[in-house]
A and B are shown apart, each in its own frame.
Chain A
Amino acid sequence: MTSVALIDIAERPNLGTIGTIASKEIREAIHSRWFWLWTLAFTGLASFMAAVALPGSQVAGFGSFGRTAASLIALAQIIVPLMGLTLGAYSIAGQKENGALRFLLSHPISRTEAFWGTYIGLAASLAATVFGGFGVAGLITVSQGGGANAGSFIRIAILSWLLAVSMLGFGMLISTFTNRGSAALGTAIFAWLGLTFVGDLGVMGTSIATSMPTWGLLVTAVLNPTEAFRLASLTAFSGSLDVLGPAGRFAVDTFGDSLGWILFSVMTAWAVIPTVLAWWRFNRLGDL
C-alpha cells in the first residue's frame, strides 16, 4: 500500500459530490438512445406544428401566433409528462435492479447526495430536450413572421420544463416504491394515462355529477399538474382563460393580473412537492 486513506468525511451533503453525480447522469443521457428518441420526437413534432399552424392561422385571419402556441401546449401536455414520468420512474428502480445504486452508495456519499445528483442531472437532460424542441419550433415561427410573441413563447417553454421536472419528481416517487425497473415504468405509464386523459374526464364528470361551484372546478383542475400546465400556458400567451368558459372567466375576474403568477406558483409547487416526497422516501428506504 502506498498510503491509507483515513479521511474524516463530514456527513452533511457536499455540493461537489452532487455535481459529480449530476454530470455523470447528463453524460449517460447523451449516450442514451432514449434521450435522443425523445429529443428528436419532441423537436420534430414541435417543428411540424410550428410549420403547419402559423401559415394556417394567417390564412384564417388570426393576428397572433395563438394557434401555434395552442398546438405546442397540446403537444407538450401529452408528451412532456410521459418523458418526465418514465425517466424518473426508471431512475432509482432501474439502478436498484442492476446494482448500480449499491455501487454508487458504496462510495463515501449520502443518499441525499445520490438523490439530488440524479435528479439534477435528469432535470438538466429534460431541459435540453424541452428547450431544444421549443428552440427549433421558435426559429421556425420567427422565420414565418411570428416573432412578435417571443416572450409568451419563452414562458410556455419554461412552463413545459416545469411540467417535465414535476413529472420527473413524480416518476422518482413511483420509483421508490419498487425494486424493478419494468414495474416502475408500467406504473408511470398508468399514471400518465390517468393524469393526461382520465384526469380531464374526471374533472368534467365530477363537475357535472356534483354541480360543483365555479371556484371548485378551478381548484380541481389545478390539482392535476398537466391541467395546471395548460391553464398556466394559456394565461401566458393570451392573458385570459376565456376558452375555459365560466371557470376561466371566474379565475380572471377573481385574480386579475396575478393569475399568471398564481398559476406559475402552482406549477412550481407541482415541481417541488413530489420531488421532496421522493427524496424523503428514498432516504427512509430500508434496503437498497
Chain B
Amino acid sequence: MIAIQHLTKRYGQTEVVRDFTLDMADGDAVALWGPNGAGKTTVVRCILGLVRYEGVITVDGLDALDRGKAVRARMGYVPQELSFYDEMTVDDLLDYSASLRGIGPDRVDEVAETVGLSEHLSKKVRELSGGLKQRLGLAAALLPDPQILLLDEPTSNLDAKARDSAIELLERLRHEGRTLLVTSHHIEEVGMLVDRVVAMEEGEISVICEPTDLAEKLGLRAWLHLILTNGSADRALTVLRDRGFNAKMNSRGVLVEVSAQGKGEAVAALQHAGVEIRDLEVWR
C-alpha cells in the first residue's frame, strides 16, 4: 500500500532523513517514533508530496510526486496543530475541505458525528479548544473515508482528557482496518495505537520492532514513583537497594529506577518484604 524506498531529504547540506525504507501493507498501523528533529514529520510531508526528496515513494503503486493528486485522494492527513482559518466556522472549513475533494456536504454531518463535533459546527475555529481542533483536523481527514490516515503528532498539544479521547477515537479507526501512519514521541500512546514502531534518530531508522519491545530495544529506563503507607519509606529504600535498584526518596514517596521490563520486579520485591504500596506511577 505505502512503499518508501531509500528516501533521503536534505535541507542544504543537512540530511534530515537518510536512506529511509519502509513497506506498509493494507491495514498496517505503524508509528514513526523519535525525539523532535528525528525526521518523522519530514517523512510524512514527503509522502504527501509537500517536499522534494531523493528516493521513491509509491502509494497503491502510484508515485507520490508524479501522481501527487491521485495519491492524496487516497489518504487523509491530520496536521500537528490546526492553527489557521481562525475566522472560518467548523462547518465552513469542513465544507471547503469536502469541496476540494469533490465530496457532497452530506458527508460533513456524518464525519462531524463520528468525531463528536456535531454540537460545534457553528463555532469559529479560533473558539475551539486544542482537543476540538484536533478532532476538526481528523474530521477533515476522514471526509473522503480514506483507507490511509497520516497523523502528525496527533496528541502532542492535548491535555490528558483530550488525549485519552483522541486515542480512543484513533483506536476505533485502527480497528476499522484503516492503514495508519502516526508520528509520535510519546512511547505510551505508540503502544496503544500501532502494531509496529519505526524508531528514528537523526534522520535514520534505528530500530523497527513491536511497541512492547521498543523501550527494551532502545535501552530506555523509567522511574517508578511509589506512594507508600506512613513510616515504610525507609524500609522500602533498604529493600530496593539490597536488590540492586537505584532508589531515593522524594517529598511524596520513593523513586526507583527500573528498566522497561523491570517494573514488576521492583513492586514484587516490596510486596515480598511486606511493604504496602498505596499507589504508583511511571515517570519517563
Please list the residues of chain A having a beta carbon within 8 angstroms of any beta carbon in chain B.
Answer: 1-11, 16-17, 20-21, 24, 27-28, 31-32, 95, 98-100, 102-110, 286-288
Contacting pair A107 B72 (CB below 8 A): yes
B20, CB-defined interface residue at 8 Å: no
Docked complex Cα distance between A17 and B178 (Å) = 27
Of A1, A5, A32, A105, the residue contacting B177 (CB under 8 A) is: A1
Question: Could you tell me if A106 and B74 are in contact, using CB atoms closer than 8 angstroms?
Answer: no
Let me know if A286 and B69 touch, CB within 8 A.
no
Question: Inside 8 A of A286's CB, which chain B residues have their CB?
Answer: 51-52
19 A-B pairs whose Cβ atoms sit less than 8 Å apart in the complex: A1-B176, A1-B177, A3-B145, A4-B145, A5-B146, A9-B70, A17-B100, A20-B96, A21-B100, A27-B92, A28-B85, A28-B87, A32-B87, A99-B82, A100-B85, A103-B77, A106-B50, A106-B79, A287-B11
CB distance from B83 to the nearest CB of A (A): 6
Given A99-B79, A103-B84, A107-B100, A5 contacting B50 (CB threshold 8 A): no
Taking a contact as CB atoms under 8 Å apart, the answer to whether A5 and B87 are in contact is no
A105 adjacent to B87 (CB under 8 Å): no
Our pick among B51, B70, B79 for the contact of A287 (Cβ within 8 Å) is: B51
A105 and B96 contacting across the interface, CB-CB below 8 Å: no
What CA separation (Å) do A177 and B27 show in the bound complex?
40
B130-163, CB under 8 A of A: which get 1 and which 0?
Answer: 0000000000100011110000000000000000
Contact: A6 with B74, CB < 8 Å? yes
Residues in B with CB closer than 8 Å to A9 are: 69-70, 73
| CB atoms of A11 and B70 under 8 A apart | yes
Tell whether, in the assembled complex, residue A108 and residue B72 are in contact, meaning their CB atoms are under 8 Å apart.
Answer: yes
Q: Shortest beta-carbon distance, A220 to chain B, in Å?
A: 38
Find the B residue at minimum CB distance from A31: B87
Given contacts A6-B60, A105-B49, 8 further A-B contacts (CB under 8 A): A2-B145, A7-B70, A28-B87, A99-B80, A106-B48, A108-B101, A287-B45, A287-B52
The CA of A99 and the CA of B48, in the complex, are separated in Å by 14
Chain A residue nearest to B142 in the complex (CB) = A1
Q: Which residues of B contact A109 (CB under 8 A)?
A: 69, 72, 100
A10 to chain B: closest residue by CB: B69
Q: How far is the CA of A27 from the CA of B124 in the complex (A)?
A: 14
Chain B interface (Cβ < 8 Å from any Cβ of A): 11, 45, 48-52, 60, 66-70, 72-74, 77, 79-85, 87-88, 92, 96-97, 99-102, 140, 144-147, 176-178
Q: Which of A4, A95, A107 contacts B147 (CB 8 A)?
A: A4
The reply to whether B68 and A110 contact each other, CB–CB distance below 8 Å, is: yes
CB distance from B148 to the nearest CB of A (A): 10
Please measure, in the bound complex, the distance between the C-alpha atom of A150 and the C-alpha atom of B108, giving whole angstroms: 48
Contact B101 A288 (CB under 8 A): no
Which one of A9, A31, A32, A286 has the greatest number of beta carbons of chain B within 10 Å? A9
Closest to A12 in B: B69
Inter-subunit contact A108/B146 (CB<8 Å)? no
Please pick, from B82, B84, B100, the residue contacting A95 in the complex, using a CB distance under 8 A. B84
The binding surface of chain B is classed by DSSP as: loop
Contact B69 A20 (CB under 8 A): no
Inter-subunit contact B67/A11 (CB<8 Å): yes
Closest to B92 in A: A27
The answer to whether B83 touches A98, judged by C-beta atoms less than 8 angstroms apart, is yes
Tell whether A99 pairs with B73 under 8 Å between CB atoms, given A5-B146, A105-B48, A108-B101. no
Bound Cα distance from A16 to B81, whole angstroms: 28
Task: Report yes or no: A287 in contact with B50, Cβ–Cβ below 8 A.
Answer: yes
Q: Is the CB–CB distance between B73 and A7 below 8 Å?
A: yes
From residue A18, how far is it (CB to closest CB) to chain B in Å? 11
* Bound-complex Cα distance A32 to B88 (A): 11
A30's nearest neighbour on chain B, judged by CB, is B87
Q: Which of A1, A8, A95, A102 is in CB contact (< 8 Å) with B70?
A: A8
State A265–B69 Cα separation when bound (angstroms): 36
| Minimum CB–CB distance for B113 against chain A, Å | 12
Q: A104 vs B73: C-alpha distance in the bound complex, in angstroms? A: 13
What is the bound-complex CA distance between A104 and B87, given in angstroms?
A: 16
Write the nearest CB–CB distance from B175 to chain A, whole angstroms: 11
The residues of A that contact B48 with a CB separation of less than 8 Å are 102, 105-106
CB distance from B151 to the nearest CB of A (A): 12
For the complex, give the distance between the alpha carbons of A99 and B99 in Å. Answer: 19
Contact B74 A107 (CB under 8 A): no
Residue in contact with B79 in the complex, picked from A27, A102, A288, CB distance below 8 Å = A102
Chain A: minimal CB distance from B149 (Å) = 11
Q: Are B100 and A108 in contact (CB under 8 A)?
A: yes
CB pair B73 A20 closer than 8 Å: no
With A1-B177, A4-B147, A5-B144 in contact, is A105–B69 under 8 Å at CB? Answer: no
